[in-house]
Chains A and B, each alone.
Chain A
Amino acid sequence: MGNIILDVTDLHIEFHDHDLPETVVEDFDLMLEAGEIVGIVGESGSGKSMSALAIAGLLKRHALTKKGKIMFDGTDLLSCDRKTLRSYQGDEISMIFQEPMTSLNPVKKIGWQVEESLRIHHKEIDKKERKRRAIEMMEAVGLRDAEHVYNMYPHELSGGMRQRVMIAAAMIGEPKILIADEPTTALDVTIQAQIVNLLRQMNKDKGTAIIFISHDLSLIRQLCQRVIVMQKGNIVENGNVEDIFRKPQMGYTRKLIAAIPQINLS
């Protein structure tokens, strides 16, 4: 066992938006080692995104009850006060989302958005240094002509570039954990491959642990070492990706794998 940086135990999430409470996540456990990439796979309604949002502390919009523990850096993110939670958000734990267009603020310049975590968490860094780091980060995620992009608005970029901007903004504080919620689903296959490569490279260069959420098992196979399979709020299976592909233990996992069209070129 390596150095465990995140330990989620017995996570329960229940929504109270309607008269009847609705359980969306049940008995969710996750141990994340420093620098590892874990995949969470499942279909819509499986609770994979909800678990991720809970870890990132972003479930505040709904009327809900949460139970369990999310231990990070000796703190329980589920029960700690908002101020402590905020001090981790964007600095130690970052997140990127499915729709890079709607996830960026349409009326703010790219540079301003990339720098945001620095501005919030590291007030000691001055404006010039902030800009230098932002541009450096934007170059690191493969945005060509970063100086120019710095002053552009989201609508002027392509989908792939926007997702790169999102990654730059998430990585600028050099977080320990990056949560990626279906970051490639809205993108074309070739762009998708580029973004997956970029995430792999970030993981290698900066040592950031990644929780990668996707509905696409074959994509998870390309990127992750470990995978958690979810269905209707529950963890169905959990283990090494290759093992699960070779010997799925549960019926649902088998069904998921069978749904991927097999290609036999020989």
Chain B
Amino acid sequence: MEQEKVIQAKDLKVYYKDHKKNPLSRQHRKQVLKGVTLDIYEGEILGIAGESGCGKSTFAKAIVGMNKDIEGELIQKYGDPQMVFQDPYSSLNPSKKIGWLLEEPLKADKTRTWTKEERKKRAKEILKAIGLQENILDRYPSQLSGGQRQRVSIGVALMKSPKILIADEPVSALDVTIQAQILELLQELHREMGITILFISHDLRVIYQICDHVAVMHEGIIKEYGVPKDVYKNPKSEYTMQLLEAAGIR
């Protein structure tokens, strides 16, 4: 079955400023992604695996436009991809109530204006989808547990019904049992809304559980790509083998 590509990266190179060098000079750029070619298909969950500093988060940031210093091609079928971050504590503004946080994306929506009633209605819909009660709307993030916060973060990202959701290590900061619940939620949302998910994780087991494809990244390069089961069974690259061994999978 030929599926449509929603994101195509062709020989994508991304640079960071090197902070050890003089910040006033433009010369010092550090190449973090060294030519990544990767397609993301409509409606799939694509996992990117790799260790810290391998460039997996940089790739995500390049897609959502948080990183502007890029070379190569990055074709996106839809605009406005949304992102969920790792740390459920810093990704919600501590001075705002949950209701306010959920409605904010709609207030900033440039494509249409939402009335107050519409915003409230949408927030309640999303709340239901992420499995939280309505009484949570009047609470502050500090009154929520880590798992609840991560649900809210996902909810905020979903408010404008994006076609693509990027989840950057969304379960790494959570306890294992909570982790399982959030993964379940992501799978459920994927099933019901048909949303494409780019799932970034260092945990090969988690990727195996929920992803349709996996790309293994190392030092800014995609080392291997395929269906998780095949990749784990017959890893072609040395590095993938190392990762699998370290995780006790092989």
Q: Is there a contact between chains A and B in the complex with CB atoms less than 8 Å apart?
A: yes
Classify the secondary structure of B's interface with A: helix
Residues of A within 8 A of B151 (CB): none
**Do residues A189 and B51 form an inter-chain contact, with CB atoms below 8 A?**
yes
Residues of A within 8 A of B250 (CB): 265
Give the residue of B176, B232, B233 whose beta carbon is less than 8 angstroms from that of A215: B176
Q: A189-B243, A190-B246, A260-B205 are in contact. Are A265 and B176 (CB under 8 A)?
A: no
Q: A188-B52, A188-B202, A190-B51 are in contact. Are A261 and B209 (CB under 8 A)?
A: yes
Instruction: Quote the shortest CB–CB distance from B250 to chain A (angstroms).
Output: 8
- 1/0 per residue A242-261: CB within 8 Å of B? 00000000000001101111
Q: A189-B243, A190-B246 are in contact. Are A263 and B176 (CB under 8 A)?
A: no
**Do residues A258 and B202 form an inter-chain contact, with CB atoms below 8 A?**
no
Residues of A within 8 A of B75 (CB): none
Classify the secondary structure of A's interface with B: helix
Residues of A within 8 A of B203 (CB): 189
Residues of B within 8 A of A265 (CB): 229, 232-233, 249-250
**Do residues B248 and A221 form an inter-chain contact, with CB atoms below 8 A?**
yes
Tell me if A103 counts as interface (CB < 8 A to partner B).
no
Give the residue of A188, A219, A256, A263 whose beta carbon is less than 8 angstroms from that of B177: A256
**Do residues B229 and A193 form an inter-chain contact, with CB atoms below 8 A?**
no
Tell me if A10 counts as interface (CB < 8 A to partner B).
no
Tell me if B247 counts as interface (CB < 8 A to partner A).
yes
Residues of A within 8 A of B205 (CB): 218, 260-261, 263
Q: A190-B243, A192-B246 are in contact. Are A259 and B52 (CB under 8 A)?
A: no
- The listed residue with most B CB atoms (<10 A of its CB), out of A258, A263, A265, is A263
- How many chain B residues sit at the interface, stated as a range, is 20 to 34
The complex places the Cα of A248 from the Cα of B209 at a distance, in Å, of 22
Tell me if A44 counts as interface (CB < 8 A to partner B).
yes
Q: A188-B202, A189-B202, A189-B243 are in contact. Are A258 and B180 (CB under 8 A)?
A: yes
Which residues in chain B, 200-248, are within 8 Å of chain A measured between CB atoms? Answer: 202-206, 208-209, 229, 232-233, 242-243, 245-248
The complex places the Cα of A215 from the Cα of B171 at a distance, in Å, of 14
Tell me if B117 counts as interface (CB < 8 A to partner A).
no
**Do residues A189 and B176 form an inter-chain contact, with CB atoms below 8 A?**
no
Which residues in chain A, 168-217, are within 8 Å of chain B measured between CB atoms? Answer: 188-193, 215-217
Closest chain B residue to A255, Cβ basis: B177
**Do residues A43 and B177 form an inter-chain contact, with CB atoms below 8 A?**
yes
Binding site for B on A (CB under 8 A): 43-44, 188-193, 215-219, 221-222, 255-256, 258-263, 265
Can you identify 5 A-B contacts, CB atoms within 8 angstroms? A188-B202, A256-B177, A259-B179, A261-B206, A263-B249
What 7 pairs between A and B have smallest CB-CB spacing? A193-B246, A261-B209, A188-B51, A43-B175, A261-B205, A259-B176, A259-B180
